[in-house]
Amino acid sequence: MQYRVDPKSGNKLSVLGFGCMRFPRGISIDFAKSEKLVLDAIERGVNYFDTAYVYGGSEDTLGEILYKNNVREKIFLATKLPHGKCKTYEDFDRLFNEQLRRLKTDYIDYYLIHNLPDMAAWNAVSAVGLEKWLAKKKTSGQIRHVGFSFHGTQAAFLELLDVYPWEFCQIQYNYMNETYQAGRLGLQKAHEKGLPVIIMEPLLGGRLASGVPKKAVKLFGEANPDITPAAWAMKWLWNQPEVTVVLSGMNASEQLDDNISTAENAFADSLADSELAVFRKVKAVFEESYKVPCTGCNYCMPCPKNVNIPGCFAAYNASYANGFVTGMTQYLTSTDALHSSGGKRVTNCVKCGACVKKCPQHINIPLELGNVKKKLEPFWFGAVLKIAEQMAGGKQ
């Protein structure tokens, strides 16, 4: 495992961090599988683990794993304050104490203000006394380092960098998001201020791993058949010296193996010009194939009308990237269209807009769901469903 130094503290952080939002799940988090992955990662040198208050069950699961196996002191633990829930000064302690209880610890190494989008949000939480509270927690040692995670405009990110003596930050960044949100400029500005930069969504919710268009897979394979598309994406990030840690939401041992194998050679400025040229070609293919920048984070869920919003967008994108039949098959499966009346289909959307304010990608979800409907529920779709229902009824 390679390590990069946090210039604010001198901590040596593993270049690969474990993002705990996507622990293996059935109906709920699969504790045994998650435990195996976490312990394997620690044994192989991963020492930065990231979770959040709003990642359903994640803090409890990670806390139990660390406590049960007595490995808390082997890692740097990061979690996040849901600032939107902080309406009074007392809310800070209420939420933080609950996080300590869940995580079975008495301190947090890296504490983030979660999804701080702009100055308006900062001013609102500051007015409740956030800075005073953070100072108190830092003095007590319960919080070691303060940072923020970001999903907003580049201009807003640059403003936020100067409003508080941050000790680190976390941004969405990958080869398809080079100019999106904080972007490369934000990465560089944070680095210039001496902040370690933690990268989230390096694979765009899996799109840069298993959702790569066939033409792009071919381009990667021609350049180096021994490297997976996911490894290419990680190498692109680690090639940049301004990147400190890259978080990956690993939920299978194969993903952990691939990432660690790549991380062992994660050297800055190691990509050749010919390899960088491959990324330019791949980006062009993606821009042709992918229509909605959904990462599958599920922040928009649950939908009040039961629409599987991330599933609809994934199928829609797949219909362009991998062909209509693949997209339609994925749509039918992810929306239970053949198993229940209406299921989780896009047709259930009433354009209430509840999802729009929750989306960190700022997608106009009702508008894009309308495009999904046009593509994946063509004029003959209803007739096919009726035939399928009749056939299913005849078998009962």
Q: What is the 3-state secondary structure (H, E, C) of the chain?
A: CCEEECCCCCCEEECEEEEHHHCCECCCECHHHHHHHHHHHHHCCCCEEECCCCCCCHHHHHHHHHHHCCCHHHCEEEEEECHHHCCCHHHHHHHHHHHHHHHCCCCEEEEEECCCCCHHHHHHHHHCCHHHHHHHHHHHCCEEEEEEEECCCHHHHHHHCCCCCCCEEEEECCCCCCCCCCHHHHHHHHHHCCCCEEEECCCHHHCCCCCCCHHHHHHHHHHCCCCCHHHHHHHHHHCCCCCCEEEECCCCHHHHHHHHHHHCCCCCCCCCHHHHHHHHHHHHHHHHHCCCCCCCCCCCCCCCCCCCHHHHHHHHHHHHHCCHHHHHHHHHHHCCCCCCCCCCCHHHCCCCCCCHHHCCCCCCHHHHHHHHHHHHCCCCHHHHHHHHHHHHHHHC
**C-alpha distances out from residue 259 to 173, 228, 241, 279, 286, Å:** 17, 10, 18, 19, 22
**pLDDT at res. 391:** 59
Structure tokens at 322: 């991998």
CATH of 3-288, one of 3.40.50.80, 1.10.357.10, 3.40.50.10610, 3.20.20.100: 3.20.20.100
Q: What is the pTM of this model?
A: 0.78
Mean pLDDT for 334-339 is: 74
Low-confidence winner among 78-82, 99-103, 155-159, 324-328 (lowest mean pLDDT): 324-328
**pLDDT at res. 341:** 58
Judged against a pLDDT cut of 70, whether residue 388 lies above it is answered with: no
Judged against a pLDDT cut of 70, whether residue 310 lies above it is answered with: yes
**pLDDT at res. 396:** 38
Beta partners for residue 50, in sequence order: 19, 78
**pLDDT at res. 263:** 94
pLDDT range class, residue 212, cuts 50, 70, 90: confident
Digit-coded pLDDT (tens) for 91-144: 999 999 999 999 999 999 999 999 888 888 899 999 999 999 999 999 999 999
Judged against a pLDDT cut of 50, whether residue 362 lies above it is answered with: yes
Judged against a pLDDT cut of 50, whether residue 24 lies above it is answered with: yes
**Percent of the chain scoring above 70 in pLDDT:** 96
Contacts of 286 (CB under 8 A, 6+ apart): 176, 212, 213, 216, 321
Higher-confidence residue of 162 and 332: namely 162
**pLDDT at res. 340:** 56
Mean pLDDT for 364-370 is: 90
Higher-confidence residue of 194 and 320: namely 194
Judged against a pLDDT cut of 80, whether residue 315 lies above it is answered with: yes
Higher-confidence residue of 40 and 357: namely 40
Q: With contact defined as beta carbons under 8 Å apart, do 292 and 321 qualify? A: no
**pLDDT at res. 122:** 93
pLDDT range class, residue 339, cuts 50, 70, 90: low
Beta strands 48-50 and 76-81 are: parallel
**pLDDT at res. 316:** 85
Ordered by start, the domain boundaries in the chain are 3-288, 309-395
**pLDDT at res. 131:** 95
Q: Mean pLDDT highest for which of 119-133, 169-183, 308-322?
A: 119-133
**pLDDT at res. 198:** 96
Judged against a pLDDT cut of 60, whether residue 56 lies above it is answered with: yes
**pLDDT at res. 275:** 93
Task: State the Cα torsion 174-176-181-185 to the nearest 10°.
Answer: 70
pLDDT range class, residue 390, cuts 50, 70, 90: low
pLDDT range class, residue 393, cuts 50, 70, 90: low
pLDDT range class, residue 286, cuts 50, 70, 90: confident
Mean pLDDT for 49-64 is: 93
Mean pLDDT for 196-212 is: 87
Low-confidence winner among 67-71, 95-99, 165-169, 182-186 (lowest mean pLDDT): 182-186
Low-confidence winner among 92-96, 166-170, 318-322 (lowest mean pLDDT): 318-322
Mean predicted lDDT score pLDDT of the chain: 89
**pLDDT at res. 395:** 45
**pLDDT at res. 94:** 96
Mean pLDDT for 45-60 is: 93
